[in-house]
Structures are given as C-alpha cells and as structure tokens.
C-alpha cells in the first residue's frame, strides 16, 4: 500500500471505526454496521459508548458515497463531531485504516470495528491507557470459527493474528481470538502500515498483518489484554450471529434489572431496548418490550406481551396483558388493558381505568374515570369520575382537521354513542346509549338522540300470512 507522509501529532487519542466492508455474509443491502440490533444500528451502540470515553476525534470509514446514508441513519447528536472518511473500495481492514491515517492528528489511535456493537466503555478505557506501541484485546471462545486466531511464541508473547481462511490445520483449534479492538501509537501506522500486503487467501490488506511486521522491527512492542465475556466483544457477520448476539445482550440487560430487584418472570423473554428505571416491587411478566425512556414507579405490574415506548408509570400502576403504550403518562393507581393502545400524549389520571380494545391519543383521562371497553378516545379532555361506556367513539376528524372535545367531571357517556368533535359536555351530564352528540350538552342534563322505540305487534305472524 502507499505510504502516508508522517505529520505532526498532538497528545491525545482518536478512534477510527471501520464501517466500509461489503457485509456479503449478512446478505443485506445497507452497510452491516447500520443493521439494527437491540433497537438501533450496531454502529450507534458503539458511538453511544464512545460518548462516555473522552476521545479527541472519531473517524468513521464508510463505503463510497454513503456518508449521507450513515448521517441519516445515525443519531444527529452523536454524528456532529464525527469525521467521515471514504474507502472507495473495500480492500481490507488495513486499507480502511490507511484511508483515515492522513487525518489523524493525535499520538494515539484506537481502531474499532463497526460490526461489534457491545464493546464496553471499560475495554476502551483500558486500551486507551496502555503505553505499549500496539495493544490489542483478545478473548477466549469455545467457537473461534471465522475469527482471527492469536498466535503466541514460546515465551507466550503475541506475534501474529491469522485469519480463518489462512490457518494451518493445527491452528484451527486455537481458542484465543482477536476482538478487533486495537490501539496503536499513530507513528506505528505511519511507519509500517504501507508494508502490509494482500498475500492471503482473501486478497485483502489486513490490519492484523501489521503485527508480524512490527514484531520484526520492534520485538516486544505488542501487548495483548484478554477480556470476557467473549460475546461482548464479538461482532456479527451473519444474520444468525446477529440474532444470537442480540439475545445475549438482552439477557445481560435483563439480568442487571433482576440484580436490582426487579421481578422479571423470565429474563430470556424480556427485551429492554431502551433506558429503563424501576422502583421497588415491580413485576414484569413474559414477552414485555421496553423502548426509549421508560420509568416505572413502585409496586407496578406489567402484564405479558406489553410494549412500553417512552412511558412514565407512577406508583401502583397495573398494565394488563398485550397493551401498547407510546409517549404516555399514567398516574398513581391507574390501570390499562388488556389489549389497550395508548398512543402519544395520553395522560391517564390517578386510579383511572382504560380497558380492553380502547385506543387513546392526545387524550387526558381524569382521576377515577373509566373507559373499560372498545372505545376510540382521540383528542379528548375527560374530567374526573366519568364513565365512558362500551363502544364510545370520539369522532375527532372530518377528513381535514382534528377537533378536541371536552367531557367535564362526573359525566356518564352511554354505550355506543358518538361524540362529534368539537363539543363540550358539561358537568354531570348523561349521554343516553347510542346517542350522536353534535352540540353542547348542558350541566346535569340528559342528551338522547334516538327515535322512540316502536313495537309492532304480531309482526312475525303478519310476515308468514
């Protein structure tokens, strides 16, 4: 490879993330580091961890003309101080690092792989502190297939890394593998990276091929730190590996919550994809999914199959099975579900109840009010102690505009009535079952809009005559 001109370096540490590979083994059309795992792109996990690591610069090596795709897919927040480096053709990890080398201004550089999302802050800090010219992190694994094996000499020093396709038969049994986390003095890259060739079975310029070159010129310059558990530092090259990695991460998150005293019925069937905080005495049944920021107060129970996406539950809330809640706030003692759908901006008041097959959106349900069956409650302000009967619909949309209606305290809305927004139903009003409410209902009154019932006697007989 071409040699990069040496340039003046400042103290400090940069990171180069390699994300320009073809991802052939995964069989996806987008770059592999952008494939979502546990709710966000693999690369996003890495960037979120790096935010906590005090680094000078972050470079992302991306495939030709794909910087915009990366910027659109990743969090704007984490991207604004990333420097983008193009690798026009994926010729190997060494070639990818070489593209970034002319832009590196710090004395130290850490190379990370975009397809290893769960590298920990501790691993990065550990390798950042190392003083050796080259440090790498290895791990022991029962299934080393596909990974670069660590080759040690008689004195146990690491002298090489050999990739799967280049292994001699007797080397295949080596269980110590390269995690891909490598830190170097930048001067090592300037001095030796151009000496790396592509004489291997993949015809790629491997970054790992710099090890024997360095060992030849500066014996003893390589330091190897072992870490565990191995799954944390392992990448995912195929969909099967991605699925296995995802399960391992989710299980470890579930175990952390268990350790904090949350009663998770089955940690193998709990997907926490977001930031969850839980009070005391919280019980979470199977197949619950957490997304975004979720805060659960004391003494709450979450039924099987519930999905909570950016939700706050105060104390003593019960979520019954298979309810989906997005951007909602449930006050103390509230109860929702089973099979409820609380959409954005739903506020359920203290001890209020939202029952089965009820959909809510931009709606406030006051203290001790109930809507227990089969309703659509969008753009409504419901006061306290109201009863919303089965099948009540707030008709909030005329095809062009959305309208808000108000139901004041102590109202009784009979089953199967339609409230055509915008209207106000004043305090203590009663809406008769099946009514179509189109205008203001005064306080304490009954609104009824059904034709009187007529009973036609002997109807059956007349029909058969």
Active site residues: 373
User: Which pair of structure tokens corresponds to residue 184?
Assistant: 């170097």
Strand partners for 365: 348, 382
**Around 266, how many Cα atoms within 13 Å sit in the side-chain half-sphere?**
10
What residues numbered 200-239 form the site for ligand UD1, per CB under 6 A? 206-208, 235, 237
Q: Residue 26 or residue 288: which is nearer to ligand UD1 going by CB? A: 26
Using DSSP's 3-state secondary structure scheme, residue 307 falls into strand
Helix (H) or strand (E) holding 211: helix 210-217
Residue with smallest beta-carbon separation from ligand UD1: 148
Q: How far is the CB of 95 from ligand UD1 (least distance, A)?
A: 6
**Residue 32 touching ligand UD1 (CB under 6 A):** yes
- Which region among 107-115, 306-314, 376-384, 434-442 touches ligand UD1 (by CB under 6 A)? 107-115
Do the Cβ atoms of 230 and 139 come closer than 8 Å?
yes
- Which region among 6-14, 113-121, 222-230, 449-457 touches ligand UD1 (by CB under 6 A)? 113-121
Cα 294 to Cα 177, 297, 314, 340, 444: the distances in Å are 37, 10, 11, 18, 40
Q: How far is the CB of 20 from ligand UD1 (least distance, A)?
A: 3
Do the Cβ atoms of 31 and 23 come closer than 8 Å?
yes
**Residue 161 touching ligand UD1 (CB under 6 A):** yes
**Residue 117 touching ligand UD1 (CB under 6 A):** no
Tokens 């001067």 appear where? 187
Comparing C-alpha atoms, which of 278, 285, 342 is closest to residue 308? 342
**Residue 16 touching ligand UD1 (CB under 6 A):** no
Q: Residue 55 or residue 161: which is nearer to ligand UD1 going by CB? A: 161
The binder of ligand UD1 chosen from 133, 180, 333, 389 (CB under 6 A): 180
What is the C-alpha to C-alpha distance for residues 84 and 461, in angstroms, rounded to an integer?
Answer: 85
Using DSSP's 3-state secondary structure scheme, residue 166 falls into helix
Do the Cβ atoms of 219 and 213 come closer than 8 Å?
no
Q: Within 10 Å of residue 143's Cβ, how many Cβ atoms?
A: 10
**Residue 18 touching ligand UD1 (CB under 6 A):** yes
Selection from Ca ion, ligand UD1, none that 19 binds (CB < 5 to 8 A by kind) is ligand UD1
Binding track, positions 295-324, relative to ligand UD1; x by CB under 6 A: ------------------------------
Q: How far is the CB of 64 from ligand UD1 (least distance, A)?
A: 11
Residues of this chain that interact with ligand UD1 (CB under 6 A) are 18-21, 32-33, 61, 87, 90-93, 95-96, 113-116, 147-148, 161, 163, 177-180, 206-208, 235, 237
């Amino acid at each position: 490879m071409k040699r990069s001109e040496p340039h003046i370096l400042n103290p400090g540490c940069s990171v180069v993330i390699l994300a320009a590979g073809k991802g052939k083994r995964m069989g996806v059309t987008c770059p592999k580091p952008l494939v979502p795992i546990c709710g966000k792109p693999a690369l996003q996990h890495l960037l979120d961890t790096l935010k906590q690591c005090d680094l000078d610069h972050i470079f992302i090596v991306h495939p030709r003309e794909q910087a915009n795709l990366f910027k659109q897919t990743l969090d704007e927040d984490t991207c604004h101080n990333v420097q983008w480096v193009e690798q026009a053709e994926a010729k190997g990890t060494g070639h990818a690092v070489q593209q970034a080398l002319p832009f590196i201004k710090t004395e130290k550089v850490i190379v990370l792989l975009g397809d290893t999302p769960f590298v920990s802050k501790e691993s990065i800090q550990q390798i950042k502190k190392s003083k050796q010219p080259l440090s790498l992190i290895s791990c022991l694994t029962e299934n080393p297939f596909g990974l670069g094996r660590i080759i040690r000499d008689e004195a146990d020093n690491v002298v090489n890394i050999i990739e799967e396709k280049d292994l001699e038969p007797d080397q295949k049994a080596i269980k110590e593998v390269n995690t891909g986390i490598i830190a170097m003095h930048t001067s090592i890259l300037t001095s030796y990276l151009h000496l790396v060739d592509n004489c291997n079975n993949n015809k790629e310029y491997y970054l790992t091929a710099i090890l024997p070159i360095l060992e030849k010129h500066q014996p003893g310059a390589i330091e190897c730190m072992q870490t565990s558990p191995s799954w944390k530092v392992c990448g995912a090259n195929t969909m099967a590996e991605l699925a296995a990695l995802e399960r391992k991460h989710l299980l470890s998150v579930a175990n952390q919550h268990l350790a904090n005293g949350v009663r998770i019925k089955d940690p193998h069937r709990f997907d926490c994809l977001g930031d969850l905080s839980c009070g005391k005495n919280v019980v979470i049944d199977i197949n619950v999914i957490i997304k975004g920021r979720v805060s659960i107060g004391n003494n709450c129970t979450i039924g099987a199959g519930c999905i909570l996406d950016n939700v706050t539950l105060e104390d003593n809330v019960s979520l019954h099975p298979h309810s989906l809640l997005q951007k909602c706030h449930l006050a103390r003692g509230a109860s929702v579900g089973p099979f409820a759908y609380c959409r954005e901006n739903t506020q359920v008041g203290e001890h209020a109840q939202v029952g089965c097959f009820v959909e809510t959106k931009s709606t406030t349900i006051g203290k001790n009010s109930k809507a227990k069956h089969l309703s659509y409650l969008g753009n409504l302000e419901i006061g306290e102690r109201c009863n919303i009967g089965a099948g009540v619909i707030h008709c909030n949309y005329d095809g062009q505009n959305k309208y808000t209606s108000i139901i004041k305290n102590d109202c009784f809305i009979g089953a199967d009535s339609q409230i055509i927004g915008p209207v106000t139903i004043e305090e203590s009003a009663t809406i008769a079952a099946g009514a179509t409410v189109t205008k203001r209902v005064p306080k304490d009154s009954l609104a009824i809009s059904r034709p009187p019932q007529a009973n036609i006697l002997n109807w059956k007989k007349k029909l058969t005559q």
